[in-house]
A and B are shown apart, each in its own frame.
Chain A
Amino acid sequence: MAKRIDVSDLDIYYGKFLAVQGVTVSIEPRSVTALIGPSGCGKSTFLRSINRMHEVLPGARVEGKVVMDGQDLYSADVDPVDVRRQIGMVFQRPNPFPTMSIYDNVAAGLRLNNKQTKKADLDDLVERSLRGANLWNEVKDRLDRPGSSLSGGQQQRLCIARAIAVEPDVLLMDEPCSALDPISTLAIEDLMTELKERFTIVIVTHNMQQAARVSESTGFFNLNGVGQPGRLIEFNPTEKIFSNPDEKATEDYISGRFG
């Protein structure tokens, strides 16, 4: 299921503004890849361009290639909607659908796409996804309650369950813990280590300890100044980044000299 992603020479624009320049990176399957860097350096923008969420904003576009297992995601005959079905996403703030129950939230990916599924199969899928997100035991007795009745950490795990229910190959996480308390954060980090058995995971985080704890590889984004495009400064195994980075800027950032 999990797939590798090869990005080459990717430039990302907001209208005329070049936000991220020249990213070339290979993301390994069945691993967690962390993206770190100061605010505004383009790591979230880069993440959103992997599943073509970037272009949802008016005027936003990219140049370059994102290839997933040999298929160019940006080629002219690829529908962004299909890309997003294969590459799921979890957002910074938990965003369950307020009009839906817990059950319906998990089933949303299928229901919204009008997939005809037998009730028993759907029940099965919901349970499997909720178990996958380590949420089943907490919510199994109140599946018909609104998703927004859960706590913040539970809501975020519900969103993860919703994302994995459509069985994507890749899971993108945009600072998934930044709105959560430490205990919920720990629960999500544990979940990530389980999920990487099945998915390719890319996570953007502001928390360097988190990157060090959960990821196999880490990419460091930085920008030279305000108004300049962000760049991928260094991409290496996490151990190397945190102990002996190639670049001076990475070391400065990691040791807390800026950012």
Chain B
Amino acid sequence: MSVQTPIPTSGASAVTPPQDRVAGRLPRWGQLAAFACGTAIAALLSWLTDSTVVLFVIYAAVLGTLVLYVASRRAEGRRQATDRLVTAIVTSAFGIAMVPLAALVWEVVGRGIERLDAEFFSASLQGIVGEGGGAYHALMGTLIITGLTALISVPVGLMTAIYLVEYAQGRLKRAITFFVDVMTGIPSIVAGLFAYALFVLLFGPGIRLGIMGAVALSVLMIPVVVRSAEEVLKLVPNELREASYALGVPKWRTIVKVVLPTAIAGLGTGVTLAIARVVGETAPLLITVGITNATNFNPFDGRMATLPVYAYYQLTQPGVPPEFAIDRAWTAALILIILVMGLNVVARVISRFFAPKTGR
């Protein structure tokens, strides 16, 4: 708020008001002291108004920042004070973003741990009213449909990326790149409607199949695979391609045997993250695969259960008494989080361990 100087034209003197140049600096402990002070006032305020812990933290952060700002304003001048104020704001913004993450993980773990037992992984819901039962059928359904999705998406996505990096030129390249970007933004429910509309034309209305879910998820997964594979393939140095061509190796063999192996770590990471992206998708499966209480391993025959849809129905249509189904819903949500986080960790491990060895 103090300086409005464009970079190229200004001299140093125009930027720095004279009073600032002689201004002192707060000692190092100043910041700490300011926040200690703010916390103390906040504690008092919370005690007087009988507030919750959340409010106390908010009071402490706001008051601490205020004290720091005032102190800095007096000791260092307006510009430094603004700088400190922004630092505090930016830091708390990050803190605010961490609140939902922590709360969410805490809540899901706390409620989901209840039914995280052997029966949950070994039993389906067939013939279950009330207590017991599990999500074996849903877990298997998720694995089958996600596997099918990967089976469709990885070859198409990878080949598209290869086309974009190694072959495509001009207009078609720009068109594909652009529409891959656009495709990343397709709402998942629309992907589900697409798969439904497609299969209705083939098999008539009311159809529900596991493969429909895989088609819907592929619409979501393919662009993710393309983008990540494209980035990784671009990183493979051109020198390696030329070295291979110069040995009289045809282009396609060069791609298959030199480019892809060199990029394998990045490709593995990208595919894993893409799987993580679709494994928790609910909406498209809700309208294409539906739900069932029995175990169905055949994606070409009728409804299947999947973990996210299972969680949804257990929570929204728990039956009587509701608490057992709601417990199962939370456990399913917990397993989903574990799956997604696990895939993220696997992706990191892949990129760490399968990177091409560069000697030492």
Contact = CB atoms under 8 A, between A and B. Distances in A.
The answer to whether A and B touch directly, with their CB atoms under 8 angstroms apart, is yes
Interface of A: 51, 53, 56, 58, 81-86, 88-89, 91, 93, 95-99, 108-109, 111-114, 145-146, 148-150, 159, 162-163, 166
A95 B240 contact: yes
Interface string B327-338: 000000000000
A112 B248 CA distance: 9
A167 to B, nearest CB: 11
A81 B250 contact: yes
Contacts of B245: 53, 56, 81, 84
Contacts of A150: 359
B358 A148 contact: yes
A98 B356 contact: yes
Contacts of A111: 257
Given A112-B253, A148-B359, A53 B242 contact: yes
A230 to B, nearest CB: 21
Given A58-B169, A146-B357, A148-B357, A95 B239 contact: yes
> Which of the listed residues B239, B242, B248 has the most CB atoms from chain A within 10 Å of its own CB?
B248
B23 interface: no
Contacts of B241: 56
A89 B246 contact: yes
Given A146-B358, A148-B359, A95 B248 contact: no
A97 B239 CA distance: 9
B116 interface: no
Interface string B132-154: 00000000000000000000000
A25 B258 CA distance: 35
Contact of B359 (A58, A109, A146): A146
26 contacts: A51-B246, A56-B241, A56-B245, A81-B248, A84-B246, A85-B247, A86-B248, A91-B239, A91-B242, A91-B246, A93-B239, A95-B237, A95-B240, A96-B243, A98-B262, A98-B356, A99-B264, A99-B357, A109-B248, A113-B249, A113-B253, A146-B359, A148-B356, A149-B360, A163-B247, A166-B248
A65 to B, nearest CB: 21
B254 interface: yes
B356 A99 contact: yes
B92 interface: no
Contacts of A56: 241-242, 245
Interface residues of B, number: 26
A95 B356 CA distance: 14
B261 interface: yes
B31 interface: no
Interface in B317-360: 356-360
B177 interface: no
The 9 A-B pairs of least Cβ separation, nearest first, read A85-B248, A149-B359, A89-B246, A95-B239, A98-B356, A109-B247, A84-B248, A112-B249, A99-B261
Contact of B247 (A82, A88, A146): A88
Given A95-B240, A98-B262, A112-B253, A166 B247 contact: yes
A81 to B, nearest CB: 5
Contacts of A166: 247-248
Contacts of A93: 239
Contacts of B254: 112
B82 interface: no
A95 B345 CA distance: 32
Contacts of A112: 244, 247, 249, 253-254, 257-258
Given A95-B240, A97-B262, A99-B261, A108 B247 contact: yes
Nearest to B357: A146
Interface in B44-68: none
Nearest to B239: A95
A43 B249 CA distance: 24
Nearest to B241: A56
B256 to A, nearest CB: 9
A195 B246 CA distance: 18
A173 B260 CA distance: 27
A58 B243 CA distance: 17
A83 B246 CA distance: 9
Contact of B242 (A95, A98, A145): A95
A202 B44 CA distance: 86
A46 to B, nearest CB: 16
Contacts of A91: 239, 242-243, 246
Contacts of A148: 356-359
